[in-house]
Structure 1
Amino acid sequence: MAKNHQKQRFSPQAPPRFSPLPKAIPILVAAVFYAPQWAQAACTGTTTVSCTGALSGSLSYGSSIGEIDFLNANLAGSVNLNNPSGASTLTVTGSTLSASMQSALQVNNANGAVSLTLDAASQVVATPNGGQSNGAVQITTSVSNSGNIQLNNAASINAPGGLLVWNNGSGSAAISNSGTVTASGQSGLGATTEGGGSINVTNAANGQVQVQSNNGIDTHSNGVSGDTLIVNNGKVSSGSASGINSTSNGGNITIQNNGLIDSGNSAISVNSFSTGNVNIVSKGALNASGTGTYAININSNGGQVSIDSSTAPVRGAITVSATNGGVQGTVGNVTSNGTNAVALFFTGNNVSASGVTLNTVAGTDISTTFSGVAILSQGSTGGINLTTNGTIGGTQAVGRSGVVANITGAGNTANVQLQINNTVNATRTAVQGSTVGSGNVSIVGNGALSSQSGYGINAIAAGGNINVSANSAVTGVTALRGSSPNGSVALIANANLTGTGAVPLSGDLSGVALQVANASQASVDNYATATTQSTTSAVVDINAGSAVVNNHAGATLTGASDFAVNGRTGNVTINNDGTLYGYVTLQGSGNAFNNNSSQSFDLRNYVAGVQSVAVAQINGVFNNNANGVLRLLAVSNPQSVNNSGAWQTAGSLLPGNGVVQGQLTGVSNFTNSGVITLQGVDNGAGQAVAGDLLVITGSHAAGTSGGGVYTSNGGQLRVDTVLNQGGAASLSDVLVLDRTALGSGGATRVFVSRAGGLGSLTGTGATDGIEIIKVLDAGNSAQNAFVLGAPLSAGAFQYQLVQADGQNWYLQSSDLAAIAKIQTMLPLALSEFGLDTLGTLWQRVGDRRYQPQRQDEADSPAIWTRAGGRWGRTEGNIAGNGFSFASAYRLSGDFVEVGADRRLWRGDKGSLIGSAFASHGEGRMSLQDGASGQADLHSNSLGLALTWYGNNGYYLDVLGKWTHYDTELAADSVNGSPDGNGGLLSLETGYQYALNRNWSMVPQWQMVWQNNRLNSYTDSNGDSQPANSDHSLMGRLGVAWRYARPEDEGRGLNAYLKADLLHSFQDNSLVLFSNTPLQFHTQKTSAELGAGGNWSNNKRTVDAYAELNYRHALGSNGSYALGGTVGVRYRW
């Protein structure tokens, strides 16, 4: 920042920047000479002097001269007009005034208005032999109206000093330049007023002011009033001073640049020592070359400062030092070297002071080797309001900070408000806002912010509140930071944040994405992804009396340190609705972790290739709410494993080889309404890996009870387990708790994923089985706190979750798996279904009435169809190696069959009938022993039969049938679809004994052999089940009592009652399920009662027949079946 210029009071003896001739000399000349004196001159006139032609020597005029005109003259000398009494006019047209002295044209102590016009190709040249020129053209006046000074067209001034106007009275000074002014030692265009007159300097579009070592345009308003207006539409350049320099002791200063200002120091320099306002508008370029130069340098003592360079390219810093009046600015492209690009310093102590307001324009960029925007409010009043729409360091990072806005006045109650709408790229802090007063700090980042060695956003307050919102990506050693020891801090991340982990210049934390360094209250809201590249720092770091961390839905907290949240003091509440990776450390007390997210809290400690125990220190309550998921996250292929702090219980493993361990310590109460999962399919391992350990304890040492209570409020626990015989062979994920309680939501449902094992009997003792939940406090383990969430089986065995010792929870197997039961009983069910679809001869084709007189009708070709159904239950025992379990199933089904008959041979003894048929059946077998499972059966059959009908009432039926089976097994969560084929042979015979005209008795005998084979298949657990086949031989012995109405009494009608005894001659079915041989034992003998009938029409072409029967196992009340058939036969 440039230093404040000292206020100057200029006198006629010591004017600013230039010195007119002493007053004594022109007065003396006026007194002695009343006519012009010259050595050689071609000038004529007394009050109006006209000069032309070649002239030499100096021209001096007294007070009587009112006008001097040079027309196409060439004067080798100077012109002096001394003490003109009235208005004076000087015109130089097409002429050259060349003097080898300080001034070529000088008006001294004018008592009237002075108008000077340099027109056409006029030139004024001063080349003093020694010393500095005060101005090639110098005008001194004391009147209220000083006239107009104009350089028109191609006029030029070339001298160590340019054109200088000094009004030591109350008048104004006005200069208009359309020509060229070249000066080497003094200012190009200079205007000074002493008595409050205004100053108006205009450099037109074709005007040029070129100065080597002083100001291009230089104005001084030394009175207590008088405004200054400088308008540059052309080009102003200064080699080592200011392009435009303006000072004022009282009036306003307005500078408008529509052209080019080029300077080796300051393009525009302003010093306002009073309450006058300063207004700078630059639409043209400002170019301050070199290091530490200023495009705009303003020192203001009390008025309002306004800057607008929004459309101008600016090279050099913009610096404002203002007292009381306030600063408003709008800037565009700024490039500076060696100083802050935009620096605004405000030292307001006036209660009405408006502070600093600055805007940058979209589509522009600020570039500097120092800071981009630096605003300092040092007084007791005045806030800071900054809006950036353009970039800062858009193409290359600024050398220091991007934006620094600080209130340093201790009693200042004003606020700092920063809105960053575009990119900021800084070497140090990207954006900082601070106050040592009681005001608030608000920073909104709508553009991408990046810091290489500092903060992305840093907000500091002594007692006010802080609100920081990042709506676009922020990167920094610490991305967002807020500190207000006596106020509140709110950090809001609506876009991704990255703490880089680079070494900070300040020695502060590195790698933190969201930091509350100090606050009485704090809130952190993350709506995006906040991460750290540091391996030691937390993603969120909080030091506050109380704080709330909200990780919103869809948001993520993650980092290379796996350190998600560090709560240093006070009480911290974490509300996780997104994804939180790693662990948390809440060092205060009264903390709460509310896990609401199905995207989960992923507990893990994996840093720089080293896997360690993930310890989350809660020191309060943990609520795993209804949608919450707590995952113990897997680690794949770590470079090394650090087991420091690890604890091991029976069945678990130490971390490593895919096994992980997590500990939640200092948990006074853990309420589980959501999901806790240790399963590999959930935690990234991709498969079940048994041996993980999760400890939830009120203490700070795993394995030592701290009295923490796990409250089951519904929810789930998911573990991986090797399903084997348990005991010393146990290998499972284990949950370790201090105490348990049953909440209003009910028990935690435990879901087990098999990580190996073929299943086995575990025993049912107090410590038999596989321990998956360990409770440290024996007397505080609630009953029914855990239940198995889904049926669990491995191989042939079913596992149950039991609190066997009244304390811990074990998986024990005491029964067969439902799928094993179905597979074992399925062959018998298929045999039963085959018998039901087979039936007897009468059930298949009805009762043919063979009498010699009706033999032709009986032997006629026929087609027939029938349908049937059954419903029944079968019970027995499934036995294996050293065990036997009672079981039962229910079988229901129906079928439809079509066939055709044709006589193959007829003789005196009887006829031989051939039959062909096809059938389709649908059935369902379902478990009836308390287990859940079923098998759907689909069968398609083809068959052939030969039947001998003897004329004496004897018949013999031989039948063969082939069947294809499709089955669909489903038991609990396991299913499979084995298919297969079956063959059946049946031999049936009977003899009809007439008892009287209507009644006869028919003894019957039948043998049925079946062979059913089901192919191998893979069930939904991935277990391969082998092929199984079953052979059966069943015999039936019975008698039927038949009633037939005589033909002369009407249409053919007969009915019958029957009683059968059935017996299975072969052993019970034997299957191999998951390499376990299983056999289903049932009662072999059963009795059956039935009733049926046959009806024929008068023409004997249509028969209808039906039967209903009931079967019951002898010696068992639980095996029975009810069946029936109905058929129609047409013959011709």
Structure 2
Amino acid sequence: MGAWSGAGAGGGGGAGVATSANFTNNSTVIGGAGGDGANTSRGQNSGGGGGGAGVYVVGNSTLVTITNNGTITGGAGGLNSAWPVYYGATGGAGEGGAAGSIRTGGSQGTSSQGGAGIIGANIAVINNGTITGGIGGTGGLNAGVQNDAVTFQSGTNSLTLTTKSVISGVVSANGNDDTLTLQNTLSKIDGGQSDGANISATQYKGFEHLVVNGGRWTVGGSAIVSGETTLNGGALVVTGPAALGVQAITAQGGAIEASGDQVLNQSFVLKNNPYGASTSGLVVQGADNLVLSGVLSDVGRLTKNGSGTLTLTADNTYTGGTVFAGGVVSVDKEVRLGGGDLTFNGGTLQVMGTSWTSTNRAVSLQAGGGTFDIEDAANNFAVTQGVAGAGGLTKSGSGTLTLSGANSYTGATTVSAGTLVVANDNTGGGTTTVDVGAGLQIGTGGVSGSLAGDIVNNGTLVVDRSNAFDLANVISGTGSLTKNGAGTLTLSGVNSYTGGTTVSAGILTLTGDNTGGGTTTVDAGAVLQIGTGGTSGNLAGDIANNGALVVNRSDALNLANAISGAGSLMKSGAGTLTLSGANSYTGATTVSAGTLTQGAAGGFSTASSRYDVDTDGTLDLGGFDTMLAALYNAGTINMNVGAAGSTLMVNGDYVGHDGTIVFNTVLGDDNSKTDKLMVGGDTAGNTNVQVVNRDGLGAQTVKGIEIITVGGQSNGVFSLVSDYRTKDGRKAVVGGAYAYTLHQGPARGANDGNWYLISQLEDIKPDNPATRRVSDTPDAPDTPAPRYSANVPVYEGYVQTMQALNKPSTLQERVGKRYMTGENGDGRTSGGMVDAHGIWARIQGAHDRLEPTTLTGMKQEINTFILQAGVDGQFYEDENGKLIAGITGQYGTARSNIVARDGDGRISTNAWSLGATATWIGNDGFYVDTQGQVTWFESDLNSDTADVGLASGRKATGYALSVETGKRIALNGNWALTPQAQLIWSSINADDFEDVWQANISVARGNSFAARFGLAASYDSSWQGSDGRVVNTSVYGITNLYQEFLGGTRVNISGVDFSTDNDRTWAGIGAGGTYAWAGGKYLIFGQGTINTSLDHFADSYAIKGDVGFKVKW
């Protein structure tokens, strides 16, 4: 059979664009398609023609840049004649017919090749669109094979892909310094990381250099380039380490990201970005873990982003510093981090093992903060430079991080695990949070270490400084605080942490309130101080005190906490500390200042080895029966407040150092309710005893009121803090009307060494004061008698003093002589009688010395002064005489000096009186004079013995009535006798009062009813003066007899009556005279008297003088 002859292959396609200059495509370029193949007559198939290139660069002598923003496609290959060809007989010879029959047995032709998308030499292709290699023709062998998308024929070429780039087909470089560049957009460097295509060596062949300027590109498989890789921006996602080749990678701001955990052995050269981008050096990002075992070198920095962990294992030499912006950078040595600062913005530095223990690098915390993860519990890692920045710091890992620089970062601090030690000052001010199981330590035993912000402590807070340090931060949370170091730590914030406090060394001072609770433990040699003398400082929990507890506040503080342990307690400061917990501590208790009060039974520890009360201190039992081991007292001990009946039992010794014990006693008889000191051991030293009378009315004792009992040697001296010192030299306190003195041993019986309050006199040697008041003092009784208070004699003379101003005068004393000798000397003419109309005034002075009968033997001297004035007028007249009436006003003062066995004193009384008078003057010489007067008194009472004002401004009202009658009997023209009689009633009604010693004083009886019988002998004369008017004179002498009918006065002093009975029968003599001139218009008069008791002649007496003046109107 004959064969098919090949009539010739199809023709090749032409280039879409043929150029030798730069070309930018913004549309579609397609290479020419190859011609189709044909069948020969011999049954042979001829191939189709090859497709033309989309862009064909020819004839260029310099670099040509092809920029594709559209579509470039190589021409398709021509169709191959692909009919079946049969040759040889298969049942018959085939033969071409007119219709073009198909013969079998022939061979199939080779397929035609598609055109390349771009082809040329010395070209730079920038693809922001689609480049596709032409598809080969079909119908023959190798049908449909795609040609290269880009073919670099020779020279130096480059391909730049953006993330919008689509390459369909292989890119073939010639291996001679050709470069593959990957970027985000057409911009040179923009740092963007939008995803681009996967880059593999099977598609991109023959490149020597890889440059990444932007975008996020995934590489894997075998090495993409044979030379170096440069990362200027964007990111390479590495799915296999071989894709990056073996050459050093230059990083100038680009990123590496592991897809799946990866280990890269390549070295990296970290440089600053030459294009001025915001990043430089190497960025490692992504969520998967990456190990870089190659060396990182040069001047750039390393930045860690993303949540994955970057482990550095080489001895790196880069110097641009490290940025921790996300995830973890894990190293075991400092050399792994090259050189330069450490900058945190959300990432973590993980230090493994114990080889790296400190760094002197500058550490900056940006807004995202940073974490130091010290993994090994044995590693105490120190940052010696100050940490700065606005971000926060987190400490994680079981190891210790020590910040020994001066820190200024302002963000929060979190200790999530392990321990953070602040060895220097942190002035930033952010809140520090300590998680459960973690620890924060401030200071390392030196003089530095502080935090400015508040602390939320749910773990352990330790403060260890050797100097004074004020931690003003507010501490809250469930964690504990431990004070180490020899210095003084002051907590001045209002703290609420609940995990308890331990003071292992030095002094912990609380000036703020800790309301959180938790037990506070004070170790031996350490001190816990609450307050510094102000009004703040407190804690809520119990106290296990094996060191020293000091409370120093100026106000009241109730410490309800239970205090236990072997330590001591000291109360200082001017305030009051109340202990109301169930306390059992065994150390000494010292009250150096202020008051330590027992707020509940058992508040004072019975196990405390000794109680010391210093000079400025007060121990207040709070009214509870109390047992103490031993007591040394230089201050004050209060048994109770407001009530009596408490017992202080001192099991051991009591020693007084001039201190004071305040006993509350209902002062009365032997069985009076009282506080009591019971000493089981010995007593020594000197102690003052202050007795506060709790509403006791006083009574006479027999043995006395026992207030102190002594089981051992009673060598202590107890001296009464007295209201006053008695006249026999005893210190005394007042209970009602009685004075109590303190004695060792009872008043009756053997001296038992106990101490008693006794209200009876002992063997008293009489005083002889020779005072200015009286000449002697009553003798003391021979047998014991009640010891009355120094106020009693004063009150015995109280009514007497007022009565001295409450006695109406006689008619003659008040207005002078009513009858005068007339012009004819008959003495009975109307012209001889003083006119009934007039205004008058008089003054009176008197000195009374009284020795009444009283229980105290009181003697009294009263000096009075009275100024009285009145107006008289005639209201009636007939042939028998005249009725004259008038009104009076009076001011008087009385000064009383009192001397008695039980005390001396003074009374000062002022009195204001109003009165009325009515007088019948008969023409026959008979007269009747009546007076009525009311007086208001105000008195001050003082005890000279006690040197105290008993009461002041005491009010009383007096009433007085007088009736006097007599008859003038003329003996001749000049001489006359006037027998006369007078009845005087007076009464004092005084307000009740309580004196300075709380004694209740009332006047039980203040009345007087007395009679006077007198006889006056007068000599009258008259003459005509130079003015032609009558001048009258009268002189007289008088003798009087006085009789008191009532039983004296009585005062009640706290239920005990004290009577003052003056002698009832008195006699006296007097003399006086009247001088009238100008016809009786003007008149002066006066009188002087001296009276004495007839019961005890001259022991009681009164001297009085009057002078007056009257004008007729």
Query: What is the TM-score when the length of structure 2 is the normalising length?
Result: 0.70
Hey, what's the Cα distance between the residues in 2 that align with 1:473 and 1:491?
15
Q: 2:633 aligns with which of 667, 670, 680?
A: 670
1:173 matched to 2:251? The reply is: yes
Alignment equivalent of 1:75, drawn from 133, 151, 167: 167
Partner of 1:149: 232
| Alignment partner of 1:446 is 2:523 | no
Q: CA deviation at 1:692?
A: 0.5
Does 2:163 correspond to 1:222? no
Partner of 1:679: 640
Matches within 5 A, 1:828-847: 828-835=800-807, 838-847=808-817
5 Å-filtered alignment, 1:191-210, equals 193=267
Paired with 2:813 and 2:504, the residues of 1 have a C-alpha distance of: 94
Secondary structure (helix, strand or coil) at the match of 1:843 reads: helix
Q: 2:716 aligns with which of 754, 757, 781?
A: 781
Whole-angstrom distance in 1 between the partners of 2:987 and 2:720 = 50
Q: Aligned-pair distance for 1:795?
A: 4.4
Q: Partners of 1:872 and 1:889 in 2: how far apart?
A: 8
CA displacement at 1:986 relative to structure 2: 1.8
Is 2:507 the partner of 1:490? yes
Matched, 1:1060 2:1040: yes
Map 1:213-292 to 2 at 5 A.
213-214=287-288, 222=295, 226-230=298-302, 236-238=305-307, 240-241=308-309, 249-252=316-319, 254-256=321-323, 261=325, 263=327, 266=328, 272-273=334-335, 276-277=338-339, 279-282=341-344, 286=346
* 2: CA distance, partners of 1:601 / 1:375: 41
Query: What value does the CA root-mean-square deviation take over the aligned residues?
Result: 5.1
Deviation readout 1:675-696 (Å, 9 max, x if unpaired): 322232xxxxxxx32211224x
Q: Are the aligned partners of 2:118 and 2:149 in contact in 1 as well (CA < 8 Å)?
A: no
SS in 1 for 2:804: helix
User: Contact 1:1102 / 1:1128 at 8 angstroms: preserved in 2?
Assistant: yes
Q: Which of 855, 870, 892 is the matching residue for 2:830?
A: 855
1:633 aligns with 2:622: yes
Partner Cα distance (2:495, 2:553) in 1? 20
1:943 corresponds to which residue?
Answer: 915
Q: Partner residue of 1:542? A: 546
How far off its partner does 1:615 sit? 3.9
CA distance in 2, matches of 1:759, 1:794: 5
Q: CA deviation at 1:732?
A: 0.3
In the alignment, the residues of structure 2 paired with residue 834 and residue 459 of structure 1 have an alpha-carbon distance, to the nearest angstrom, of 81
Q: Deviations over 1:631-664 (max 9, x none)?
A: 1114xxxxxxxxxxxxxxxxxxxxxxxxx12234
| Distance across 2 between alignment mates of 1:933 and 1:342 | 88
Out of 479, 482, 485, the residue aligned to residue 458 of structure 1 is 482
Task: Give, in whole Å, the separation in 1 of the partners of 2:961 and 2:1092.
Answer: 24
Equivalent residue for 2:260, pick from 185, 188, 198:
185
User: Is 2:403 the counterpart of 1:403?
Assistant: no
Aligned to 1:16: none
2:700 corresponds, among 761, 779, 788, to 761
Query: What SS class does the counterpart of residue 817 from structure 2 fall into?
Result: coil
Question: C-alpha distance in 2, partners of 1:139/1:1106?
Answer: 152
Equivalent residues of 2:124, 2:159 under 8 A apart: yes
Given that 1:117 and 1:149 are in contact with CA atoms closer than 8 Å, whether structure 2 keeps it comes out as yes
Q: CA deviation at 1:226?
A: 3.4
Task: Give SS of 1:1103's match.
Answer: strand
TM-superposed deviation, 1:160: 4.4
Question: CA contact under 8 A between 2:986 and 2:1008: conserved in structure 1?
Answer: yes
Q: How does 1:684-763 map to 2 (within 5 A)?
A: 688-695=642-649, 697=650, 702=651, 706=653, 708-712=654-658, 716-726=660-670, 729-737=671-679, 748=688, 750-754=690-694, 756-763=695-702
Which residue in the other structure is 1:425 paired with?
A: 456
- In the alignment, which residue of structure 2 is the partner of 1:896? 867
Residue type of the partner of 1:50?
A: V
Separation in structure 2 between the aligned mates of residue 902 and residue 534 of structure 1, nearest angstrom? 90
Q: 1:573 to 1:227 in 2, by over 3 A?
A: farther
> How far off is 1:1008 after superposition?
1.4
Residue 576 to residue 689, structure 1, CA distance change in 2 (3 Å): same
**Superimposed CA distance per residue, residues 849-879 of structure 1 (whole angstroms, 9 cap, x where no aligned partner):** 423447356124112233434443433233x
**2:1040 aligned with 1:1100:** no
Within 1, Cα distance between the matches of 2:172 and 2:383? Answer: 44
- Contact 1:392 1:402 (C-alpha < 8 Å) held by counterparts: no
Among 492, 511, 523, the residue aligned to 1:517: 523
Closer, same or farther in 2 for the Cα pair 1:271/1:825, shift >3 Å? same
Equivalent residue in structure 2 for 1:915, among 883, 886, 904: 886
Q: CA shift at 1:447, angstroms?
A: 1.0
| Residues 1:858 and 1:83: Cα distance change in structure 2 (over 3 Å) | farther
Work out the number of aligned pairs and report it. Answer: 917
Aligned counterparts, 1:612-627, within 5 A: 612=602, 614-615=604-605, 619=609, 622-625=612-615, 627=616
Partner of 1:11: none
Measure, in 1, the Cα distance between the counterparts of 2:1023 and 2:555: 91
Q: Which residue of 2 aligns with 1:646?
A: none
Structure 2 partner of 1:1069:
1049
1:44-193 residue pairs with structure 2 within 5 A? 44-50=119-125, 54-56=131-133, 57=148, 65=156, 67-69=158-160, 74-76=166-168, 98-99=197-198, 101=200, 116-118=212-214, 125-126=217-218, 141=228, 149-151=232-234, 160=239, 173-176=251-254, 184-185=259-260, 193=267
Q: Structure 2: how far apart are the matches of 1:1019 and 1:787?
A: 16
Cα deviation, residue 140, structure 1: 5.1
Tell me what 1:559 maps to. 559
Match of 2:125, as an amino acid? S
Counterpart Cα distance in 2 of 1:777 and 1:996: 94
User: Cα deviation per residue 1:571-629 (whole Å; 9 max; x = unaligned)?
Assistant: 887645443333987756xx6725222xx11135x3xxxx348345565672431x422
1:641 corresponding residue in structure 2:
none
Alpha-carbon distance change, 389 to 567 in structure 1, aligned in 2, over 3 angstroms: farther
Q: How does 1:288-299 map to 2 (within 5 A)?
A: 295-297=348-350
Aligned equivalents of 1:961, 1:323: Cα separation in 2: 105
8 Å CA contact 1:419–1:446 kept in 2: the answer is no
Larger Rg: 1 or 2? 2
Q: 1:267 to 1:918 in 2, by over 3 A?
A: farther
What is the aligned-residue identity percentage?
18
Shift of 1:1130: 1.8
Does structure 1 retain, via aligned residues, the 8 Å contact 2:840–2:869?
A: yes
- Quote the residue 1:958 is aligned against: 930
Q: Which runs of 5+ in 1 are unaligned?
A: 1-34, 287-293, 348-354, 378-382, 408-413, 502-510, 635-659, 681-687, 879-883
Structure-to-structure mapping, 1:472-483, within 5 angstroms: 472-476=493-497, 480-483=501-504
SS at match of 1:614: coil
2:663 pairs with 1:601: no
Superposed displacement of residue 390, structure 1: 1.6
Q: Matched residue of 1:800: which SS?
A: strand
State the 1:150 CA deviation: 3.7
Q: CA deviation at 1:840?
A: 1.6
Aligned AA for 1:175? G
SS at match of 2:787: strand
Deviates more, 1:202-211 or 1:91-100: 202-211
Q: Distance in 1 between matches of 2:409 and 2:257?
A: 35
Give the SS at the match of 1:844: helix
Q: TM-score, normalised by structure 1?
A: 0.68
Relative to structure 1, the CA distance from residue 890 to residue 664 in structure 2 (aligned partners, 3 Å threshold; closer, same or farther) is farther
CA deviation vs aligned residue, 1:702-756 (integer Å, no higher than 9, x gap): 2xx53x421325xx43222122211xx232011345666666xxx72513132x5
**Amino acid of the structure 2 residue aligned with 1:448:** V
2:850 aligned partner:
874
Residue by residue over 1:344-388, the C-alpha shift from the partner in whole angstroms, topping out at 9 and shown as x without a partner, is: 7459xxxxxxx63474755x54567x45x83269xxxxx566566
The reply to whether residue 326 of structure 1 matches residue 398 of structure 2 is no
Q: Following TM superposition, by how much is the alpha carbon of 1:782 offset from its aligned partner in structure 2, in angstroms? A: 2.7
- Which amino acid in the other structure matches residue 689 of structure 1? A
More strand by share: 1
